[in-house]
Every structure is written in C-alpha cells, then in structure tokens.
A = this chain, B = another copy of it.
Amino acid sequence: MMRWVLTVAMLVLAALGATGAPAAERRKIIIDQDAFEGPGLQPILMLLNDPAIDVLGITIVSGDGWQPEETAATLRMLELVKRTDIPVIAGATFPLVNSKARNARREALYGALPYKGAWMDSWPAYNTIKRREPHAPDVVAPMAEGMPTTKPLPVSAAEFLLAMSRKYPGQVTILAMGPLTNLALAQRLDDGFAGRIREIVTEGGNFVGRDLAKAQDEFAMQVAFNPRMSFNHFWDPEAAHIVFTSPWPKLTLVTGDASDPTVGTQALLDRATASGRPVAAYVKRIAQPGYPLWDETQAAAWRDPAIVTARGRLAMDVDLMPGANYGALLTWPAGKGPGLGERDVDLIYAVDVPKVEAMFVDLVGR
C-alpha cells in the first residue's frame, strides 16, 4: 500500500519535474474539464496564456464528449501551442452511478433531455456547434490536426488531484468545468482532500431568469424551462452531491445567468486571434462563433473577481431521487438547509460582459 502510494507520487512528481518548481507567487490551478475537440479547449487556452497562473495540470472527465477522445484532443492541442510542459491526466470515463442506459429510461418516464453530451445518439439539425458524430466511449477517431504523440500521465485524475493537494496544501484552486466525477472520486479516496484545496470554482444552474421568447430550439428550452437542471449535474448527480457536501474552504458556482449574456461573435473571435501567436492561431482554427463564452466566463470570474456584478450565497445540493428532477440543483437560504451535509455556496449571477470579452481577447491574443 505505502509502496503504491509512493509510486503514484513519484510518477506525478517525475512528470512535473521537467518544468521545475513554479514561482511562489503564481496562482496554482488545476483545470478539470470535459475538453471536447474545439470549443471545449478554448477556456483552457485562455488560462494557459496568463503568466500569473500556474496550470498544474489538466484533468479530463467525460461529459460533452468521452474522456479518451477529450484526452487526445487536449494532448494534441498542447503540442500545437507548444505547451507540452503542462500535464494532462485522464479521468473518469463513466459517471459514478448514472449511465446512458439509465438516462434513456429516465427520459422515457420523465421526458427528453435534448442535450446530453456524449450520450447523444445524433445531433439535431438546429445544433450550431460542430461536433463529432456520436460513438462508443473508447473510440478516438483521427483528428484533422493529427493525433498526439505525447501521453497523459500514467495515473488517474483523482490520484493527480490528491497528489497536488498534498504537495501544495491550501494553495490549489480547481476550476471544475465539466461533470464532477473526478473531484468526487478524489474526496472519497481521501477524506482530507477537500480541506487541502484552496477553492473550487464550478458552474451550473440559472437563477435570475431568461428571455423565454429566445428559447427557440430544444437545447435552449431545456435550460430555459428547467433552470436548475444543468448538464454537468445530471450527467453524474451523485458526484455533484459529493462535491456539494464536501468541506472545501470555498466553493463558488458561476451560474448560467452570468455566462449566457456573453457571445463569442465572429468579430470578437477575430480580435482575439489577430495576433497570430500559437494560442491565437489555434483558437482561430477551432473557434465557432455564435454562442456564449460559458466556461470562459467561469475562468474570468475566478481570475478577476472585480468583474462580478451580482453575487449571492445559498445552501445547495443536488436532487438524487431517480425521477424527473434527478440531478437538479436544490437550494435553501444560506445556513437553512436540512443539515444533511449541504453547505453554503457562493453564487455569481452576473458579470461585466465587456470585461469578460476584453479578458478573452487579451489572453488568447498573447
């Protein structure tokens, strides 16, 4: 047992050795992401380009895509932007309890969840984000930009998260941009994990309201008419519950209300990629205009809290009943939950949109 622990730690530390110890004043983060080829990589690229941020690693989780293809896409992206110094760590391919088959039965009983990431059987005509055709979890089809020659670290995402929490106790922020499976596994591997993390910033839920008339297709309606049900939560509700009931020193939820008003217009993308530098050139190739900067807003709100214009604080958990609300966020006034482990969460309801866009342009263009 001890021998195995040492082996994992040595593997992790050996993999990090090439870059040396990061400067003490850089903010240490791990990006936990369902990093599907294309827009799923954009928020990572933005963060990589900030010299004040020390990206300890990118942990991958299934969600928008399957983990194996996301891991390959992330590795190849890092090769192309010449940042192979940043480790990529493959995480959970499957949710803790949920599954494509269980989700299909749930939809039969309680209605369709039109957007379901890697569980999609086909892409509807109204989908505007170019995506790979649905396929089996272990398939990694050839990528137009070539296949990576680099490899992920030979440990799981949860093991990496634990190793970093032990190496840098109280110093690591996790930007959790996908389903929360990796974080939940790490916490159940080691009860002390949450307490050693500096901060979790995650996303989900709509609280403030929406212009319902704009919810014209079923992806948009899914959010507009079920505002507490987010894909990242209903993909793995049990993992979300574990994360929302763990003792992180600080847990922040960037709501859909905050990110929905941002738009990655062609003009914005043109400005961001005009420099032609490696990251800008890569974003230019993968960017798709016309939809919100969801994860980018999450990253921006963490990077500069001054851009946040409306906040709240609520006790929070996720509905685990296997019914129509399986995976829906539950909230109570701060401190007023049922006392079954739920904790208060800081919510971000709104951001200064021009500042998010300016930060995106600045960081991508560097």
A225 pairs with B325, CB closer than 8 A:
no
Contacts of A315 in B (CB 8 A): 111
Does A89 lie at the interface of the complex (its beta carbon under 8 Å from any beta carbon of B)? no
Whether the Cβ atoms of B314 and A324 lie closer than 8 Å is: no
Number of this chain's copies in the assembly equals 2
**Per-position binary interface string of chain A over residues 304-342, scored 1 when its CB falls under 8 Å from any chain B CB and 0 otherwise:** 000000101011010111111100101111001110100
CA distance A107 to B338 in the complex (A): 7
- Are B212 and A330 in contact, CB atoms less than 8 angstroms apart? no
Q: Which residue of B213, B323, B333, B349 contacts A325 across the interface (Cβ within 8 Å)?
A: B323
A330 and B111 contact, Cβ closer than 8 Å, known pairs A212-B312, A324-B321, A325-B325: yes
B residues less than 8 Å from A208 (CB atoms):
209-210, 212
For the complex, what is the distance from the CA of A323 to the CA of B328, rounded to whole Å? Answer: 12
| Chain B residues closer than 8 Å to A270, beta-carbon distance | none
**In chain B, what residue has the closest Cβ to A257?**
B209
Once bound together, how far apart are the Cα atoms of A289 and B349, in whole Å? 31
**A319 — nearest CB in chain B belongs to which residue?**
B324
Partner of A332 from B225, B319, B330, B349 at Cβ < 8 Å: B225
C-alpha spacing A250/B253, complex, angstroms: 40
Is A218 at the interface (CB under 8 A from chain B)? yes
Contact of A97 with B by CB under 8 A: no
Inter-chain contacts of A207 with B (CB < 8 A): 212, 225
CB pair A314 B225 closer than 8 Å: yes
Could you tell me the distance in whole angstroms from the C-beta of A135 to the nearest C-beta in chain B? 26
Q: Please, how many angstroms separate the alpha-carbon atoms of A221 and B320 in the complex?
A: 22
Residues of A within 8 Å of B, CB-based: how many? Answer: 40
Asked if A65 lies at the interface with its beta carbon under 8 angstroms from chain B, I say no
Question: From residue A238, how far is it (CB to closest CB) to chain B in Å?
Answer: 14
Cβ–Cβ contact B331 & A325, under 8 A: no
Task: Check if A332 sits within 8 Å of B209, measured CB to CB.
Answer: no
Contact of A218 among B110, B212, B333 (CB under 8 A): B333
Tell yes or no: A112 within 8 A of B by CB: yes
Q: Which residue of B lies closest to A349 (CB)?
A: B212
A216 CB, min distance to chain B CBs, angstroms = 10
A23: CB under 8 A from chain B? no
**A349 CB, nearest partner CB in chain B, Å:** 7
Asked if A319 and B325 sit within 8 Å, CB to CB, the answer is yes
| CB of A339, distance to nearest CB on chain B (Å) | 9
Could you tell me the distance between the alpha carbons of A317 and B325 in the complex, rounded to whole angstroms? 12
Task: Answer whether residue A68 sits at the interface, using C-beta atoms and an 8 A cutoff.
Answer: no
Q: Do residues A227 and B227 form an inter-chain contact, with CB atoms below 8 A? A: yes
Which residues from B are CB-within-8-Å of A332? Answer: 111-112, 225
- Determine the chain B residues whose CB is within 8 A of the CB of A267 once the complex forms: none
| Chain B proximity mask over A339-366: 1 for CB below 8 Å, otherwise 0 | 0100000000100000000000000000
Q: Which B residues touch A112, using CB under 8 A? A: 332, 336, 338
Note all chain B residues with C-beta closer than 8 A to A141: none
10 pairs of residues in contact across A and B, judged by CB atoms under 8 Å: A108-B338, A109-B338, A111-B336, A111-B338, A207-B212, A207-B225, A213-B310, A225-B314, A225-B332, A324-B330
Query: Besides A212-B312, A227-B227, A324-B330, 10 other CB < 8 A contacts?
Result: A107-B338, A109-B338, A110-B330, A111-B336, A111-B337, A111-B338, A218-B333, A225-B332, A226-B331, A325-B330
Q: Which 6 A-B pairs have the closest CB atoms?
A: A209-B209, A321-B323, A325-B325, A321-B321, A111-B338, A111-B332
